[in-house]
Each structure stands twice: as structure tokens, then as C-alpha cells.
Structure 1
């Protein structure tokens, strides 16, 4: 067998008026401003060559790969036909970046971090999706999520909606700690959730300056997988009240299972007054914007900060959106509040800490509410444009 079936996204390079190539853009191939360039996205199942590992690389047989909101937005056109996803993109590309599987082949110099020895094959692993170089200034400073030579699995280099995926060994993490809790396919389902959970961990722990103090209140806006993961992480860190704002009943119920103490339906309740009521007028120490609707959500968060009694609140923006937030500087100044951007999941031991937390009982697998096959990925990418009932849809490989 020399080929494999893959879910491939094609789109047309058709820049909007006024677009200029950036320093890291490649004419006709790649841009860091996807929604400004790519038009008419098309998802197809194609045959591609099975990859071979080079030096420092491994080939993973994919066992499970989750659908991310980024996948949906890369494949979703706006009214003018441009993709919704605003970030790094290069098409055509095999989609999928929430990957767990088994190492089947390793190139020279590909080392297993768990053993500090070469991969021999058969290791159960998951992988980061951000392909950082390790040698640019941001990487040297400890910020691999902002690598100047960044590639991303499933965004501009081939990802995991395929039988096999080639990955630099430096991105690969062992699932060995999870084996005491998960067996068989469940091990790989749990492993596929390490990446989205690490995005939440990076946002609410690393980017927020260490997370919260036990007893703090937190508000999570958006009950998608990253928001749900944040509920679990912050409750485990000692939040007094984890408040989830989510209008979809199925996701609201899932949020309660994952660690939320209260759920607000912002379409039926006054978000500002409800948060203040639940916190005895204090508001929260941390707010996570995980909806991708900052023009709607941020003004409400800002009003809670203004009316609440908690100083030094942090607003962490993790959802990607091609939109400007309407910020009132006076609120930030008077209430000593901060807005902090969060991108990615790599660095600072995020992946191994998430894996160890899961091994110690932070069960993320309830987020997976639907399992599909590879040939069902395209139709589910379309379904998720409007259907918000599911938590995480995960592709399970044959």
C-alpha cells in the first residue's frame, strides 16, 4: 500500500482589495491572514502518498482525530465566499490537528522524550499541531506559539484526517501516563483531547499569569471544546464559582459535567446582572472569551468588570475572529483590568501537564459526543456550521 485516503481542503487564492503580502506570506500558497485571501473552500476525500519520515521525524498511524472549530471555519465561506478562519493557512492541505495514534516509523535522530531514546515503533502518542522551529527569537525566548517560522498541522502542512501523518518528533508526547485509566480506543480518544485541552490550559494558566487563586470566580464565555476544557481546568485549580455562558442546552448540560457550577443562557438572561447576582456583586477574576463573537461578548464582560467589585480582572481572548473589539480604556484603567491574547498550546510543559492532569482524574472524554469515520468528515464540517448540540466530534480511523 503506497497511498491513503485523506480529507483535503482546496481554496482559491483571491486576495481582497487592499491585501498586501506579509513577510511570512507566500504568493499563491500561504498567508497569515486566511480570511483576507482564500475563497471558495472545497473539502474532498483524495488519495495521497503515505509519508516517509526524514531526520528527526516520525510517522504516526492516526487512531483518532477531533474536528476543531478552526477546521469548520477554514472550510466555511462568508457571504463573499472567503473562508472565516483569519489565521495561518496554506491550501491544498490535509485537515485535522487533534491527533492521537501509534508511531509506526521513525527517522534518524527522532527521540522519544519519555525515554530519551530513539523511537522504535509501537509507542502510543499524541502531538502538538504548532510546528515551531526552536531557533528563531520567539522560540529562543520560550514562546514557540509565536515562532517566526511557524507551520501548523492541518493548516498549512498536512494534518491528521488521514491514515498516517508525518510529524517532527519534538512535537510528540507519550500517552503512557493515561494507560492506567484508558484502554483500547478510549486511550486514543483521550489522547486526541490533549491538544484542545492544552489550548485552554495555555489560555487560562500560562497566558493569565498562573491562572487563579483558589476561591476566585471565573466566567467562561462559550461552551465549545476549549471553553468546556477551561471549566475543568479552572475548577481543578480551585475556582469558587465557574460560570459558563452558553445558549445551547446540550452544551450547557455538558459544561455542568465538565466543572461549571452555573450556566447562563445569554439569549434569555441578562448576562451582566446574572454574573453579578451569582458572585454577590463581585464579578470574576478571570473571563475567557471563547465564542469568537468579541463584538457582542466583550462589551458585556466589560460591563461586569465596571459594575463588579473585583479589581485586576483578566480577560483572556482565545477564540479566533476577524473582528475589532470595542474596548473602553477607562474601564481597564479604573478597574485595573487587562485584556490578554492567547494563541496555541506549546511550550512551558503544557502538554505533559495536561496529560498528567488527565491521568490523575481530569476526565475530558465526556466532551466527545459523536464518533465518525473518515468519509463522514466533510459532511460533519458542514453540519457544525449551524449545529451546536455536539461537544466534540471525533474521527475514528479504521
Structure 2
């Protein structure tokens, strides 16, 4: 094994905006929980890194597939002033990539496989969570590790998976053995790389949104990977009508393939009237905001809630954005509606349940619309700023 490896690495300048204040978990010049207020002039380079060594509780994984996430795009995308668009936890320089699968190469003596309750031996096909929780703080103790007080994130402030190898804590690694009945060859790695984004959707609509009853109507705003994964999950959960709002034709068609019953083009149709027409005036029980454009999308959702006949609707906000939502309290009060925030995926067995859904036939691999090499990752991250024809671009190694 070589001692070094290439990694797709994001660099940026620490240049805080005047209103930024260093928080208790921020590290001057290195890390912040408010990325878009600090990091400027992002640039992606492929540079050499040492191959990491696993500690006693860790595993070394040879990466086989890693998808590009919208977060990768927004961390590397500057606004008019040069500041990155991503608003959350970031620490640069950092190897990007967190939606991955691969093969265990080496494991520490205390690295156990959750599926077998035995030590990892090497050769296991796995994927991993990207939210690195401590297990000791109050949110972790309460069962909310995705809100860990000592949170680190793979590919955000800890080196990620756009590289040959990655070291992960064993507690975050999930065996993909059950997928072998459905997938063979490289397909199992492609499926495994989609567990993380599908788990984000699962956490949003099932864990945070509270799920649905069979026969409920749902509206998904945004046909990116998380929105399309939500269509699949909600249809599998028994939704009567899954309505996807998405203007890009390629993503709209993919949404239909993955579970959407109807697609609305909000640039050509009246979103409010169309939702009410499709639901016989009822509106929806659950709305997912997965566009990152809350100032545009939320007022339309709110109008459907106000004019529809469904009481007790839930709006789940999963897309990350700096913008504030224009909320009318009267609508929430009179219609007994609520707005829920959803972050990440960890906790409540989300990864396990998604893997088992995949093993039972919920095939997410059609979301992968383009495969690339490691050397092609930087340019494709840049292209995704404006090109929405692709759904999930995946690096295959």
C-alpha cells in the first residue's frame, strides 16, 4: 500500500464578516459553525495526503464510490463577495466527500461490526454515517446524536471520502451484507453510497416529520437527491398522492420513476392551485422543503395550508439556507400546522432501516445519473452550480 493518496481538497481563506463573533465551538482560523459568515475565496485542488492509520476503535476503508452532495457544491461556491454559500460547520483545508461506500482494509482491536457484534476482520463491504457524534454529551444521551455538542462532520471539517482511503470510527460504520441479495459487483457500492443521502430524507420525513398514515397526501418541493429519495420513502410508506414540485425536466422524470405520482413545474404552473386540484381541495398532510429557497417556496406552502381543508399539516425544512422564512403565525394557529427542522441523519437506527428498505427492494440507484473518476470531481462540483440536469453524480474508484 502506498503511503500517500490523492484527495479532492477544499481550501478557503478565514476572513470573517464584520458581524461574526467567534462561538464557543469555533476555532480561530480553522473551524466555524457559521461557514458562510467566515470562509472566503473557496478553491478545490487535488493534493497528496498521507494514508491514514486506524486507531483502536477505528477502521480503514478503501473507498469504492462517493457521491457529490449539494453541500459539497455550496461549500465550494462563492457569493458576490466571495463567501461560501454553505452556512454550517466547516473547517478547511479538508478533503470533501461524505456519501460513500467501500471495503474494510484494516481495523483496530476494539472496532466491532454492529451487524455481527464481532470485530471487523477486513473485507466487509460497508458505508458510514458522516456526522461524527461523541456519545457523551446531553443531545447524544437523549438520542439525538445529529445534534451532538462536539459534532464533527466527514468532508466538512474532517477529511472525507474523495480519496483512496478514509478512516472512520467503527461506531459510525454500517455493514452492507444484506444488500448482496439484490446487488452484485460494483452495484452494491453504488447502492451503498446512497444510504447517507437517503437517510437524510428518511430522518426528515419519518423521524422529524413524524411520518404519515397510509392514504395521506404529501408534497415534496425540490427534486434533488434528498427530495427524490423522500418521494421513494413516502410512497413506500403508503402515501395516496406524492406530489413533486420540480422545474427541471430530467429531475421531474426521475421523481416519477422513484415514487412521485404527480409533478408540478412551479415556473409554468400555479403551485397552490395545482396542489389543491390534485388533492380535491384537501392539501397535504406533509410538506418537505428541499429547495433551499425558503423565501420563495414557503409562502406557497403556507397558502396551500390556509386554503386547503387538511388540519394539522407538517412542514419539514431539510435544505440548508441563510435566508429567513416569512412565516404567518395566524396560519399555523388556525390550521393547527407546524414547521419542523431536520438536520442530517444519525440516530434512531436511520441507517439500519434505510439499508433494510434497500435490501427489501427500494432501489435508489436510478438516482445516479452520471459516474466520474476522482480527477473529474472538482470540475463536476463546479458544474453543479448551474447544471441541474444530473441528479446524483458519483465518483467510482
Instruction: Return 5+ residue gaps in structure 1 as ranges.
Output: none
User: In structure 1, what is the Cα distance between the partners aligned to 2:395 and 2:384?
Assistant: 14
| Partner residue, 2:133 | 132
| Partner residue, 1:162 | 163
1:357 to partner: Cα distance: 0.3
TM-score relative to the length of structure 2: 0.99
| Partner residue, 1:348 | 348
The alignment partner of 1:356 has SS state of helix
1:244 maps to 2:250: no
User: In structure 1, what is the Cα distance between the partners aligned to 2:240 and 2:203?
Assistant: 21
User: In structure 1, what is the Cα distance between the partners aligned to 2:229 and 2:115?
Assistant: 25
Matches within 5 A, 1:36-51: 36-51=37-52
TM-score relative to the length of structure 1: 0.99
| Partner residue, 1:53 | 54
Aligned residues: 396
1:205 maps to 2:180: no
1:18 to partner: Cα distance: 1.3
Q: Tell me how large the CA RMSD over aligned residues is.
A: 0.4
User: In structure 2, what is the Cα distance between the partners aligned to 1:107 and 1:92?
Assistant: 27
| Partner residue, 1:286 | 286
| Partner residue, 1:185 | 186
User: In structure 2, what is the Cα distance between the partners aligned to 1:323 and 1:37?
Assistant: 17
| Partner residue, 1:71 | 72
The alignment partner of 1:302 has SS state of helix
| Partner residue, 1:313 | 313
User: In structure 1, what is the Cα distance between the partners aligned to 2:328 and 2:115?
Assistant: 47
Deviations 1:191-210 (A, max 9, x none): 0000000000000000012x
| Partner residue, 2:259 | 259
The alignment partner of 1:206 has SS state of helix
User: In structure 2, what is the Cα distance between the partners aligned to 1:256 and 1:121?
Assistant: 39
1:115 to partner: Cα distance: 1.1
| Partner residue, 2:7 | 6
| Partner residue, 1:117 | 118
User: In structure 1, what is the Cα distance between the partners aligned to 2:37 and 2:167?
Assistant: 29
User: In structure 2, what is the Cα distance between the partners aligned to 1:108 and 1:13?
Assistant: 39
User: In structure 2, what is the Cα distance between the partners aligned to 1:152 and 1:106?
Assistant: 21
1:108 to partner: Cα distance: 2.1
User: In structure 2, what is the Cα distance between the partners aligned to 1:80 and 1:52?
Assistant: 39
1:70 to partner: Cα distance: 0.2
User: In structure 1, what is the Cα distance between the partners aligned to 2:25 and 2:203?
Assistant: 24
The alignment partner of 1:204 has SS state of helix
Instruction: Return 5+ residue gaps in structure 2 as ranges.
Output: none
Matches within 5 A, 1:134-153: 134-153=135-154
User: In structure 2, what is the Cα distance between the partners aligned to 1:329 and 1:295?
Assistant: 16
User: In structure 2, what is the Cα distance between the partners aligned to 1:308 and 1:114?
Assistant: 45
